[in-house]
Structures are given as structure tokens and as C-alpha cells.
Amino acid sequence: MSRPIKASGEIALRVDNLDAIQAFYEDVARFELMQPFEQAAIFRIAEGYGDHTQIVALFDRSGF
């Protein structure tokens, strides 16, 4: 028996153009930027499940 997904914890994506993708998540998706880094950005996407904030983390592919 399958159970539906209730929430996600963290989603991590490696991207080719961090500045452009970060602008998309801020301006179009309207996600809250929690923490910018030189080669990464972390966005809050929901308050969370079980007191765990749901985030999407973007990492500049060139840095890894």
C-alpha cells in the first residue's frame, strides 16, 4: 500500500547559472531567500512538517 507524500525536507539542485536561477526563485516563484552564499542560495518554501522548515538549496555547479 502506497502512502502519499506529506512534505519534503530539503531539495538541493546544482545549477549552471546561479544568479539567473536565484532571480527566478525570488521574482517568479516568490520564495523567501533565507541565506545567500557566494556559490549557493537557500530558500524557504514552506513552514514545514514536524517543525522542520522546507527549503530548496541552489548550488552553483561550477563550484563543485
For 9-62, the pLDDT digits (tens) are 789 999 999 999 999 999 999 999 998 898 999 999 887 777 778 899 999 998
Alpha helices in 1-64 (DSSP H): 18-27
CATH 3.10.180.10 fits 10-63, yes or no: yes
Is pLDDT at 8 greater than 80 in this prediction?
no
pLDDT at 20: 96
Q: Domain extents for the chain? A: 10-63
Higher per-residue pLDDT: 46 or 63:
46
Would you say 18 and 40 are in contact if contact means Cβ atoms under 8 Å apart?
A: yes
Cα dihedral 5→11→16→22 (10° resolution) = 110
